[in-house]
């Protein structure tokens, strides 16, 4: 695929990400994605011959990788798990506030919709969340947690934050995320002892 093809594919993914995070899977149509991306309609099926689910899956994977990168600092940046989770909270707060509370977690909106009826997208969301939890678990082990404790604590921390994103978005207030930040710090401090 040439540079122009890569750019078109990237624009389609970006358009899908933007719309599905704000409107959900069912609230977003292919015509909207094409319009948002500025890509020719024919390129949609060239790059994503399986249609909307394939495009949405690519958007979810890309968005998930960006969040996972926050949880896996580059070599030489020795951040503990609390600092990494602070970065994640800051990223969620920024997304919420910059979008007027129409966006928060790039996976949650589709995850909630897909869990009940779209097995392929449910699996993609589960894999993305699994990658986040693994990254955090590995960081917690490096911070001195036992493997089982680290896995439990990472799951609890992510559940707190994802719930807080939902509450913050619904309430149009960052307070639930700030409360979750405090709770996660307490959780990780208590478990480490």
pLDDT in tens, 71-86: 887 655 667 899 899 9
Query: What is the three-class DSSP state of 158?
Result: helix
Within 10 angstroms of residue 119's Cβ, the number of other Cβ atoms is 10
Cβ-based neighbours of 45, under 8 Å, separated by 6 or more = 51
DSSP state of 118: -
Sign of CA dihedral 97, 82, 154, 119: positive
Local confidence band at 18 (pLDDT 50, 70, 90 cut-offs): very high
Is the CATH number of domain 52-192 1.10.357.10?
yes
* Cβ–Cβ < 8 Å for 177, 89: yes
Question: Residue ranges per domain, the chain?
Answer: 52-192
Determine the pLDDT at residue 115: 79
Whether this prediction's pTM lies above 0.85 is answered by: yes
The pLDDT tens digits for 63-117 are 999 999 988 876 556 678 998 999 999 999 999 999 999 999 989 999 998 878 9
């Amino acid at each position: 695929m040439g540079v122009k093809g890569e750019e078109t594919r990237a624009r389609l993914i970006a358009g899908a990400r933007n719309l599905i995070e704000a409107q959900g899977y069912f609230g977003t149509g292919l015509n909207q994605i094409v319009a948002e991306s500025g890509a020719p309609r024919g390129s949609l099926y060239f790059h994503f011959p399986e249609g909307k689910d394939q495009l949405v899956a690519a958007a979810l994977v890309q968005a998930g990788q960006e969040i996972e990168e926050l949880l896996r600092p580059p070599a030489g940046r020795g951040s503990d798990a609390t600092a990494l989770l602070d970065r994640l909270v800051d990223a969620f707060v920024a997304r919420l506030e910059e979008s007027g509370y129409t966006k928060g977690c790039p996976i949650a909106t589709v995850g909630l919709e897909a869990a009940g009826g779209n097995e392929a997208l449910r699996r993609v969301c589960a894999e993305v969340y699994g990658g986040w939890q693994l990254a955090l678990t590995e960081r917690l082990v490096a911070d001195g947690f036992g493997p089982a404790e680290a896995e439990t604590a990472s799951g609890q921390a992510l559940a707190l934050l994802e719930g807080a994103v939902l509450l913050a978005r619904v309430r149009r207030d960052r307070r639930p995320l700030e409360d979750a930040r405090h709770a996660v710090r307490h959780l990780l401090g208590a478990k480490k002892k």
